[in-house]
Amino acid sequence: MEHAAGIVLYEPDIKRLEENISAISPQVADVILIDNGSKNIDEIKGLIAGFDNITYVRNAENCGIAKALNQIMDKAEELGAKWVLTLDQDTVCESDIIEKYDRMAKRAKENVAIITSMYKDRNVEMDFGMTGEYERTDLCITSGAFNKISCIKAVGGFDEKLFIDMVDYDICYALVRGGYRIVRLNYVGFLHEVGRSVTRKFLGKNIIIFNHSPLRKYYWVRNSIYLKRKYDLGFKADVRIIKRMIQTLLYEKDRPDKLKSMFRGVADGYKL
């Protein structure tokens, strides 16, 4: 097998992480864990002792998602992989996800940089609206994405200024603008969880409320502004931020703290 999987760790729930590793470990040659300074290191080491294909790298502090993802790309390439599956620490894959992705990778054009799939969220119903075997898409989440390492590196890798949130949007924008393609399979490949999501009605439509912490709200807004400037996204980016602020005001708890963080994110987004 010439494939690897990479998981970024930060204070992981050990039971969920065990489910994650147990599901993906038999499907790849190497599972790379980049630990961003987790305090429950003894539990993590106890868990990974039961697997024989894990490469564990510990950062002394939390270096952020983007840097850890770049470390995964470097380590996977060093281990001889051409494609690497990136996973959140609480994602659980289907037993045939690599088989499905590999089949598509072998028939895909050279400029296909990411192969992804539909997924099931633990908290809300997801509707990808797919009817064909696969489709081209401009955006996908990092978890469950099968990355062609050479393409990721060709566009400069993951932007470490972002730290957390919108890291997936950034790499997708960079790839598409660089002439690369992202392909989504009509297949539910993994179980995932975005925040503490719930479904609510907004302007007559069902929307997902993520219930992220004030810190996550800050980074989402800050990085959205940064990407707007980096890729000249225009007013559409502002509309997304305004909608998210209104939804936070209408549907979430701790509204003063969250809105304060979001406004601070707007200001800091113009300083990055």
Q: Provide the number of structural domains found in the chain.
A: 2
Same domain, 243 and 185: no
Give the domain-ending residue among 143, 161, 192. Answer: 192
Is the pTM value of this prediction over 0.85?
Answer: yes
Q: How far is Cα 1 from Cα 233, in angstroms, rounded to an integer?
A: 40
Res 211: pLDDT: 81
In the chain, the amino acid numbered 230 is K
Single out the residue of 3, 77, 65 nearest to residue 34, CA to CA.
65
Q: How far is Cα 219 from Cα 127, in angstroms, rounded to an integer?
A: 26
Same domain, 246 and 116: no
Single out the residue of 67, 74, 237 nearest to residue 159, CA to CA.
67
Tell me, what CATH number does 171's domain have? 3.90.550.10
Q: H/E element holding 87?
A: strand 83-87
Q: How many CB atoms lie within 10 A of CB 209?
A: 19
Same domain, 61 and 27: yes
Same domain, 13 and 136: yes
Same domain, 178 and 251: no
Same domain, 80 and 181: yes
Same domain, 106 and 153: yes
Res 197: pLDDT: 60
Same domain, 39 and 174: yes
Res 30: pLDDT: 98
Give me the residues of the chain with pLDDT under 50, please: none
Res 195: pLDDT: 60
Q: Can you tell me which residue has the tokens 């760790």?
A: 9
Is-contact 69 42, C-beta < 8 A?
no
3-state helix, strand, coil in the chain (%, to 5): 40, 25, 35
> Which residue segment(s) compose the domain that 181 sits in?
3-192
Same domain, 184 and 208: no
Res 1: pLDDT: 54
Return phi, psi of residue 171, to 5°.
Answer: -65, -35
Same domain, 133 and 221: no
Give the domain-ending residue among 159, 192, 225. Answer: 192
Res 148: pLDDT: 98
Is-contact 167 142, C-beta < 8 A?
yes
Same domain, 157 and 52: yes
Same domain, 224 and 141: no
Is-contact 159 91, C-beta < 8 A?
no
Give the domain-ending residue among 137, 161, 192. Answer: 192
User: Which bin fits 239, alpha (ψ -120 to 50), beta or left (φ > 0)?
Assistant: alpha
